[in-house]
Structure formats: structure tokens, C-alpha cells
Amino acid sequence: MIDREMTLIPVTARNHNALNRVGLKFFSYSVIDYGGVVLEPDGSIDKSWMNLMQVDLSGALDGLNEIKDMINQFSIRAGYKARARLIEDYSMPFYVVYKDPDKQAEPLERITSEILEPWIATAGSDFYFNRNGNNLAVLPVKLNKTRAVQYLRQILQNQYGDILTIGMGDSKSDARFMASCDYAIIPSGTQLSALTLAML
């Protein structure tokens, strides 16, 4: 029914390899790497978007490596098991991710308050972070799902005329791209639903 009546486009932090491991088949565009990459329906890269990202993120690598090293040094001193990793795709660095293998909240909370927030307030002002459960990501401000969704929506409108869009997501990082759609769906029991309820 969904395949017949609408087009399903994934918008995800996953890179290309991780998307390929998803059990669903996608037949249209895909937005991956937090919006860093747009894939054409045939799976090839949208070169116009990639060229824009290469320009916008050209100066981000030094900051990503700096915060990765800061997180790892803190993690080693604190005796934590996890290490931050730089996520790359198509030979481009996009963001840094940290996950605690035991799914404990304390390491992420301490890294956020003692490392990330002071760094972003000073040297790392061109970056932001997103935390959802056990996943902590540090990203350049020019890398976000909303920009990619707006770019793709314009492509589809040029191709089909007026379209109706529905955004669905569970994370705080999804909120802005969902707000750029005509309607939004928020699954219950998620980070985003809890934030929505807290505002009531």
C-alpha cells in the first residue's frame, strides 16, 4: 500500500554500508550521513549535493579530529571502554560518534558536560552535538538533515509539481527536517515524543 500510494525516502545518520544492511528496500532517493550524502534512485551519488558538501565541510576535519582526540583522552583517563570514531563515507569525513558498549548514561553525560559543551562554547563554535540514548554524535553545523531534505524536496517539486510530504522521526535531530515537511509523525516512547510531551 505504501509503495503504491507514496514514495518512501530514508533520512538517516547511517552511512551507505549501514543503510545497505537495513532490511527494507528503497526505490527512490536516500539521505544518509546526517544529510551529508544524497543518493539517486539508482544508488549513485547526487553530484550537485556532494559538491556543495565538499565545499561546506572542507574545513571541518581539523575540528572533528580535535574533539575526537579530546573525547578519547577523557575516556581513557576516566577508565571508560568506548572510544570516539570519525565517521567517513565516500572518502569524506562527516561526524564523530561515541557509544558506550554497556549502554551506561554516565560516560555520555560527563563527556557532554565536561568536554563537548565547553568546547562548543569556545573553539568548537562551528559544531553541535546530538545525543539520543546511547548514541552521541558531534557534527559540523553545516551538516544536518534539514538542508538535505529541503534540497531534495525542491528536486521532487520541480519534477512532479506540488507534493505532500510527511516526515517521521524519533530523535531530536529529526525535528527540524520533520518541521520542513507538511506533516510530522512521532512514534511514542521515543526521545522526540518525550520532548514533545514535556512541552505540554
Q: Would you put residue 79 in left (φ > 0), alpha (ψ -120 to 50) or beta?
A: left
- Would you call 151 exposed, middle or buried from its count of C-beta atoms within 10 A (0-12, 13-18, 19+)? middle
Q: String of b and e for 44-72 (b: at least 16 CB within 10 Å)?
A: eebeebeebbeeebeebeebbeebbebbb
Write out pLDDT tens, residues 35-77.
999 999 999 999 999 999 999 999 999 999 999 999 999 999 9
Q: What is the pLDDT of residue 3?
A: 55
Q: What is the pLDDT of residue 175?
A: 87
Write out pLDDT tens, residues 107-135.
999 999 999 999 999 999 999 999 988 89
* Whole-angstrom distance, CA of residue 19 vs CA of residue 80: 29
Q: Mean pLDDT score of the chain, rounded to an integer?
A: 92
CB atoms closer than 10 angstroms to residue 90? 15
The full set of domains in the chain, from first to last, is 2-55+144-194 (3.40.50.1000), 59-140 (3.30.70)
Assess whether pLDDT exceeds 50 at residue 165: yes
* Whole-angstrom distance, CA of residue 104 vs CA of residue 102: 5
